[in-house]
Structure 1
Amino acid sequence: MQPRKIIHIDMDAFYASVELRERPELRGLPVVVAWEGARSVVCAASYEARKYGLHSAMPAVTARRLCPQAVFVAPRFPLYRQVSQQIHGIFRRHTDLIEPLSLDEAYLDVTRNKQNLLYAGDIARLIRADIRSETGLTASAGIAANKFLAKIASDWNKPDGQFSLPPQKSEAFLATLPLGKIPGVGKVTLQKMHRLGLSTAGDLRRFSRGELANLFGKWGYRLYDLARGTDNRPVKPDRERLQISTETTLARDLPLSAALLCLPQLAEELWAQAERKKCRARSVTLKLKTASFRILTRSLTYSAALPDPAALLAAAHTLSARMPDVPEGYRLIGLGLSHLEQENRQPDLWDNGTEAV
């Protein structure tokens, strides 16, 4: 069987790069895409800002402390979505097998491609050149026979580079690959691996599948395959959306009644998101995070999809009545939708829901 030819495209500091394109006077400065505030987090940091240790998901106050001269720019997600759609138009010149992971990265299966090019590396170069000329942005690419290796490869020559990892070279490459480079290996798992004397993917090959499962649970089975470069997942252009959600971190800890004042805005944002994705949902989840970071959720599942934003807000209020008013207060509130279905399936039985706590 012919090996697949998979490209993983990852835009370079996407949100920050879009802002620098729109505001060229900020080029060369440490730019941070984030709302300023005690509880805001960094959405993106330019490469100049990264030199100071700034990175996405970092608290904005920490970023300001590490780099006092940083320029903070408020996120503009409608603009980022627009640019992302433009980039996906470039992808479609070569293949329709595109699996988006986020606004700034995607897998492409170019085993059979529209321009009948033999080498996936050539396709990646064309895509990156078109992205640069048409959007003014740069992208990095990884080329391999499966998604796991392509994703790792895309990070190898960042920014504005690409790296090919053919099957005959993958075993030697993985032998020295730091475990922290494996997608899904977080800080806690990495610490456990280091305590066991493991530092590379090659080190994992000393263990049987069962031994890794005993050490890391179900994730151990996956680690066994990844250490050998095995990943049979196809590129899925119509990846099932399991859920969509939106949330907001409150400026200060609030009692339940005050936190719930955010529900109308959250419901409006979530419904707009569902409209863009052309889907409806049968389940609603209300999420609250206490001042001590304890997460509480309440869910309702209905017999048919919610028909309109008013129904979503009503469901959210129903769930809010089942939340405790904790003395410490709440720092975050969010709404989510699941049990998604395509928009053309018309609701007809929206009625009493069943609760899952």
Structure 2
Amino acid sequence: MRQIIHLDLDAFFAAVEVLLNPELKDQPLIVAYDGARSVVTTASYPARKFGVHSAMPLARARQLCPHAIVVPPRRHAYSEYSQRVMNILREHSPLVEQVSIDEAYVEIAPERDAGEIARAIQTQIKNEIGLDCTVAVACNKLVSKVACNAVKPRGFGVIAPGDEEKFLAPLAIERLPGAGKATRAKLARWNVQTIGDLARVPVNELRAEFGKIGEYLHRAARGLDDSPVVTEWNPKSVSRENTFERDVREVAHIEKLIAEMSAGVARDLAREGYRARPIVLKLRYGDFTTLTRQTPLRVPTAHADEIRERALWLLRAHWNQKRALRLVGVGAHNLIEPSGTWQMELPG
């Protein structure tokens, strides 16, 4: 029996803003670009109590919650925190599917206790990063996602194997992934109000109305889903990044870290049998300004020493040491497969 954890970070963008500015804690907070036609990207839970929600016009949100604090999105910050969360998930299982910046599936081996691991993940993310999340466990992705949405925020849920249909039956039909507004309008002919109502509609009737989607709806309403957890490894690049707990400018500390990350990149390349052409250094300053620089290699490499030396050269050439660093990353790009061919670059 499969064990799938679904994780959803609670009010993620707003939560990151609070971490970056603790004075915003417990305040009605709206993340949105300011403008006449702007829409709400996300809202903190105090703002949601006034009816503010994602995709709402900002003007309407201001009417509902005039005292709300509006801050512009900071995509680099959200990506950074998201990556830290995904790194924690991969500590618990190699089978991680990130489906959005704040959402992921984790498949747990059958012999392990998925509920215990889900709790551990939730606690670790809170303790190490400061973010709240909701987690739910079920035997497939669909049910774990529905369960996760049902217990937000800061929730925890486990749907025991065999209880999928029983769990889904009383839930409103809009809780079912794939049952959008247009689909629900068509389901009205059967007076479908809940997922249980949908489960009672004969599959041949659903197929006649929706085609293959009808078959999906029939299976989904019964809690059946065999879609795999899809892990991705980008064969075009390998990288390691580190976000400091505090901004740093100590050269020795940064150089030591680059050496460690270079060794990690080399191990990843060696494990897969790849070699890299350019070596890339990523620097992010305290204000989230990000600098990415690369240096080409005449001969592709997977050697830690060469990766380290190239990365250190980039650091010395491009780091403004008057500015402290928040993040440092080392990457190997344009990878060449073991059976691939390459040509030595000649000086121009």
Residues 1:52 and 2:57 are matched in the alignment = no
Aligned residue runs from structure 1 range 262-273, under 5 A: none
Give yes or no for contact 1:156–1:162 (8 Å, CA) kept in 2. Answer: no
- Determine if the alignment matches structure 1 residue 100 to structure 2 residue 105: no
Q: Which residue identity is paired with 2:168? A: L
Q: Secondary structure at the match of 1:156?
A: helix
Alignment partner, residue 235 of structure 1? 229
* Alpha-carbon contact 1:145-1:167 (below 8 Å) kept: yes
Shift of the alpha carbon at 1:173? 1.3
Q: Deviation string for 1:278-328 (max 9, x for gaps)?
A: xxxxxxxxxxxxxxxxxxxxxxxxxxxxxxxxxxxxxxxxxxxxxxxxxxx
The residue that corresponds to 1:308 in the other structure is none
What does 1:291-302 align with in structure 2 at a 5 Å threshold? none
- 1:151 matched to 2:108? The reply is no
- Is 1:15 the counterpart of 2:9? The answer is no
Q: Which moved more, 1:92-101 or 1:61-70?
A: 61-70
**Aligned length in residues:** 241
1:172 maps onto 2:170 in alignment:
no
**How many angstroms apart in 1 are the aligned matches of 2:223 and 2:166?**
10
Corresponding residue number in structure 2 for 1:204: 198
Match of 1:121 in 2: 115
Q: Alignment partner for residue 32 of structure 1, among 30, 40, 56?
A: 30
Once residues 186 and 58 of structure 2 are traced to their aligned partners in structure 1, the CA distance between those partners, rounded to angstroms, is: 29
Moved more, 230-239 or 70-79: 230-239
Tell me: CA distance 1:227–1:239, structure 2 relative to 1, closer, same or farther (3 Å).
Answer: farther
Give the match for residue 284 of structure 1: none
CA distance in 1, matches of 2:167, 2:76: 39
2:263 aligns with: none
The answer as to whether partners of 1:33 and 1:73 remain within 8 angstroms in 2 is yes
* Closer/same/farther in 2, CA of residues 89 and 121 from structure 1, 3 Å limit: same
> Offset at 1:171?
2.1
CA contact (8 A) 1:140 1:161 kept: yes
What are the superposed Cα offsets for residues 130-152 of structure 1, whole Å, 9 maximum, x if unpaired? 00001111110010000000001
| Residue 131 (structure 1) aligned with residue 125 (structure 2) | yes
Instruction: Structure 2: state its 5+ residue gaps.
Output: 235-291, 293-332, 338-348
SS of residue in 2 equivalent to 1:221: helix
Q: For 2:57, give the aligned amino acid.
A: P
User: Percent identity over the alignment?
Assistant: 44
The 8 Å contact of residues 120 and 143 in structure 1, kept in 2 or not, is answered as yes
| Alignment match, 1:191 | 185
1:73 and 2:71 matched:
yes
Aligned mates of 1:63, 1:214 — CA distance in 2: 42
Give the secondary-structure state (helix, strand or coil) at the position aligned to 1:56: coil
Normalised to the residue count of structure 1, the TM-score between the two structures is: 0.64
What RMSD over aligned residues (CA atoms) do the two structures have, in Å?
2.2
Quickly say closer, same or farther: Cα 1:82–1:196, change in 2 above 3 A. Answer: same
Give the conservation status (yes or no) of the 8 Å contact 2:190–2:201: no
CA distance in 1, matches of 2:39, 2:334: 33
What is the CA distance between 1:13 and its match in structure 2? 0.3
Letter of the structure 2 residue corresponding to residue 188 of structure 1: A
Identify the residue that residue 212 of structure 2 maps to in structure 1: 218
Q: Does structure 2 retain, via aligned residues, the 8 Å contact 1:6–1:111?
A: no
How much has 1:190 moved relative to structure 2?
A: 2.3
AA of the residue aligned to 1:168? G
Deviations 1:136-177 (A, max 9, x none): 111100100000000011112211111101122212112212
Unaligned segments of structure 1, at least 5 residues: 241-274, 276-341, 347-357
Letter paired with 1:175: A
Q: 1:223 to 1:21 in 2, by over 3 A?
A: same
What secondary structure sits across from 1:155 in the alignment? helix
Structure with larger Rg: 2
